[in-house]
Amino acid sequence: MVGVSERTAGESVPELATGVVTEPVTAPQAPDGDLGPDRELLTVNFGPHHPATHGVLRLLVTLEGEVVRDMKPFVGYVHTGIEKSCEDKSYWKVIPLVERADYLAYHFNALVFCMAVERLLDEPVPPRAQYLRVIHCELNRIHSHLVWLGTSAMDLGAISVFWYCFRERDKVLDAFEASTGQRMHTRYIQVGGVAEDIPAGWDRRVLELVDDLEERVGQYEAMLDRNEIFLRRTKGVGIVDEQRLLELGVTGPLLRAAGNPFDLRKAAPYCSYEDFDFKIPVGTVGDCYDRYRVRVAEMRESCRIVRQAIEGLPEGPRITENRKVALPPRHELATSMEALIHHFKLVTEGFRVPPGEAYVAIEGPRGELGCFVVADGSAKPARVHFRDPSFVNLQALRDMTVDGYVADMIVNLAMLDPILGGIDR
């Protein structure tokens, strides 16, 4: 059940008259004492190769009947050593690598890494580049939430939602392809700005896209919000209170569903988010249904941000004019020796970053996405660390699932929205 929390900074998701009442789903309690003949614990490996784990996640589940008594997550199956590989690449070559960590939030990964390097360089970003970053990140957020909505609904048996969500997701990827040349892992956000300006007519196309998306999101809601199976499987399931979530370091939609309106875009605006008018959806109960409602409402807010950013897109350069950091325009190479030298130095060695450490955090689709960069004065970072929200949020899964039914574990996992590429890096 979603209502207005007293502390909300923004909009609360409107409640629908569905007839399904929210009551915490409780499984039978364990009797005290030793295991009797009628009580048997069964340990089951869930995953790593299981479609409902949303990746290569293994859960060691201790079951009593169909009630989960203990649960332990095992990760690392797709560990590729991205952080270590970053130490062997110059700064601008790190961007394509980090994009592949959380593969549904690639613009966010690139943005947070670039922001950390920009802080170490003390390099300002032109306003047009900031707006273009916001547009791409918010479209990326919609894309990530669409994948989440489709796969989660599929876990609950609603496979048609999956097809529809992936149709809309493809349209977002088409927009990325038009502006950046790639559908995923675009290497679009660069240190000091963005790699390319948007092509002519792209803004109109994206405005049509977000108009379309807003309508489509309403249709998906209509498919799920009055679906009794969906409601009964999500309402009252996996409730963890706000205080416990904060102790576990959970951020993002999971925390907001429990009633805490903490969102870095509002709390500590970066990348000119303070220019836009948008609301932070919050839930009140903190069950899986609230998590679903919060994310769906977030997609609408993202559409609003994209529309405002396109309508208010300032003129100006798309990347910093500092030739020590950003490549000179191509046409200058034919006429300017200096531009040629800068180009050569940047492409061969890359730029050097003065020694220092920076931790920068932004609001990713799954929560606080942080990047920690240590520079030692050379052209390669000495350490790159990603505080991936999926990695931290996964610790809350135990609190959500223990003493619930094993079927509810699937719902909890789906609504947690873990991306194993981000967890394992």
358 near other proteins (CB under 8 A): yes
241 near other proteins (CB under 8 A): no
234 vs 222: CA distance, rounded Å: 16
31 vs 397: CA distance, rounded Å: 24
45 near other proteins (CB under 8 A): no
| Given 9, 173, 246, 340, the residue binding other proteins (CB under 8 A) | 246
Q: Which is nearer to other proteins, 204 or 324 (CB)?
A: 324
| Given 66, 88, 212, 274, the residue binding other proteins (CB under 8 A) | 88
Q: Which amino acid is at 328?
A: P
Instruction: Choose the stretch contacting other proteins; rule: CB under 8 A; options: 38-46, 71-79, 289-297, 325-333.
Output: 71-79
| Given 35, 44, 222, 268, the residue binding other proteins (CB under 8 A) | 268
43 near other proteins (CB under 8 A): no
Structure tokens at 318: 């798309």
84 near other proteins (CB under 8 A): yes
Site for other proteins in 128-187 (CB under 8 A): none
374 near other proteins (CB under 8 A): yes
403 vs 31: CA distance, rounded Å: 12
263-271's contacts with Cβ under 8 Å and 24+ in sequence apart are 263/9, 263/363, 264/361, 264/362, 264/363, 264/368, 265/363, 266/9, 266/10, 270/115, 270/360, 270/362, 271/111, 271/115, 271/125, 271/130, 271/133, 271/134, 271/137, 271/362
How big is the chain by its Cα radius of gyration, in Å? Answer: 23
| Given 119, 183, 216, 226, the residue binding other proteins (CB under 8 A) | 119
200 vs 203: CA distance, rounded Å: 8
356 near other proteins (CB under 8 A): yes
CB of 76 to other proteins, least distance (A): 4
424 near other proteins (CB under 8 A): yes
| Given 50, 69, 79, 216, the residue binding other proteins (CB under 8 A) | 79
127 contacts 142 by C-beta, under 8 angstroms: no
340 near other proteins (CB under 8 A): no
Specify which residues 193 forms β-bridges with.
190, 319
100 near other proteins (CB under 8 A): no
55: left (phi over 0), alpha (psi -120 to 50) or beta: left
Q: Which is nearer to other proteins, 192 or 370 (CB)?
A: 370
| Given 180, 391, 408, 409, the residue binding other proteins (CB under 8 A) | 391
CB of 235 to other proteins, least distance (A): 27
> 3-state SS of 106-175?
HHHHHHHHHHHHHHHHCCCCCHHHHHHHHHHHHHHHHHHHHHHHHHHHHHCCCHHHHHHHHHHHHHHHHH
Structure tokens at 297: 């409402």
Instruction: Choose the stretch contacting other proteins; rule: CB under 8 A; options: 33-41, 92-100, 248-256, 274-282.
Output: 248-256
Q: Which is nearer to other proteins, 215 or 357 (CB)?
A: 357
How many residues make contact with other proteins (CB under 8 A)?
A: 39
Q: Which is nearer to other proteins, 305 or 420 (CB)?
A: 420
122 near other proteins (CB under 8 A): yes
SS3 370: strand
Structure tokens at 199: 């092509």
Structure tokens at 280: 């932070």
Site of interaction with other proteins (CB under 8 A) = 75-76, 79, 81, 83-85, 87-88, 119-120, 122, 246-250, 262, 267-268, 356-359, 361, 368, 370, 372, 374, 382-383, 385, 387, 391-392, 394-395, 424-425
